[in-house]
Amino acid sequence: MDSILVRGNGPLNGQIPIAGAKNACLALMPATLLSEEPLTLTNAPRLSDIRTMTQLLASLGVEVSALHDGKVLAMSSHAGINPVADYDIVRKMRASNLVLGPLLARLGHAVVSLPGGCAIGARPMDIHIDALTALGAEIELREGYLHADAKGGLRGAVHEMRFASVGATENFLMAAVLAKGSSVLKNAAREPEIVDLARCLRKMGAQIAGEGTSTIEIQGVDRLHGATHPVVTDRIELGTYMLAPAICGGEVECLGGRLELVESFAAKLDQAGISVEETERGLKVKRRNGRVNAVDVVTEPFPGFPTDLQAQMMALLCTAEGTSVLEERIFENRFMHAPELMRMGARIEVSGGQATVHGVEKLKGAPVMATDLRASVSLILAGLAAEGETLVRRVYHLDRGYERVEEKLSAVGAKIERVKED
């Protein structure tokens, strides 16, 4: 099993290219099911989750070709489509549920296993079910599979979600574009990944307005055509690498980064004493002077502070001057990285959905265990700033969301390598 070995060695300097967004790509790929014509995605990230979605789409009858070292995905679902998304593939990844809406829209029926993913708390399917039921689908849960039917075809509807779920917004959007009549989704998620999906669907001939706001309007069309679409920059990878010079010192330019993707996060970095400067090629980040300042963080849906950057931000605040409080409002059970950071000398108290971090002058290297995707990279960041060696085990989580992390960090001066362990 692979592990990551990190040796803390001071400031980082240079440039890090930011990949296309994993979460955007995982929503864009199922959109190919909506048309018999080809859909091509450029700037695709090279991740195990993308390979899993490729396997899932292939099992449904989609032809997928990875070109240009995996950065281009050429997809076609012109042949007969299988409506059954099997447990053996779906269990590996939460985003597998995003085939439900497109299959219903294309075929009028679907059988999709309940999904898997990181163990970061309950992420129930009922919000998805309510959204698709509003469009006229009948959905039953039988033996771990969602059996969905829309015998007379999906019909446009007005639906308000009780929570601004990203996945449910994406499923509703992909189903509604081929529904009869107009639809309105209220309390819709506003994340950049939603905007990217809407832009791609519009290129395919969909009629959508309001993406990026809490109300999205869709006018159903009879069919969609093919398109080519670049995947938006990954704001979570961007935020993660922005934290590297923040925690280690130095100056790093994140190529392809845009401030509009991480405004609330960048505002917290500014409070902590980290400079974020827009350049022609991305975002340049450096620590202003001395230790960073303690800041309080509350995770919220976009445009608030992202839950997917909470673990990484905690790693930074472990070395801040003063006491910080992090409140997790999106997922319960998302402080599993805290005990591992404490093995490195961090002072953290967790109570329910709140973690209090008392900054220390220096962390110390230690063997630690990754518990989920974002926790794994938070431990790597902590190791970059720690004295001695840090060995991060169970990094198969890491490969789901970060491409070539050792290569990117090594290029700016980090001492980091992947090692094999029995």
Q: Is 364 annotated as a binding residue?
A: no
Among residues 54, 114, 123, the alpha carbon closest in space to that of 86 is found at: 114
Q: Determine if residue 296 is labeled as part of a ligand binding site.
A: no
Active-site residue identified among 118, 248, 254, 318: 118
Query: CA–CA separation, 86 vs 276, rounded Å?
Result: 45
CA distances to 169, 192, 274 from 161, rounded to whole Å, are 9, 18, 37
The pair phi, psi for residue 364, each rounded to 5°, is -120, 135
Orientation of helix 100-107 relative to helix 126-134, angle to 10°: 20
Spatial distance between the Cα atoms of 412 and 110, rounded to a whole number of angstroms = 47
| Number of Cβ atoms within 10 Å of the Cβ of 119 | 10
Does residue 311 contact residue 334 with C-beta atoms inside 8 Å? yes
Query: Is residue 118 annotated as part of the catalytic site, yes or no?
Result: yes
Closest CA to 393 of 417, 422, 370: 370
23 marked among binding-site residues: yes
- List the catalytic residues: 118
Known binding positions: 22-23, 94, 308, 330
Known binding positions for phosphoenolpyruvate: 22-23
Known binding positions for UDP-N-acetyl-alpha-D-glucosamine: 94, 308, 330
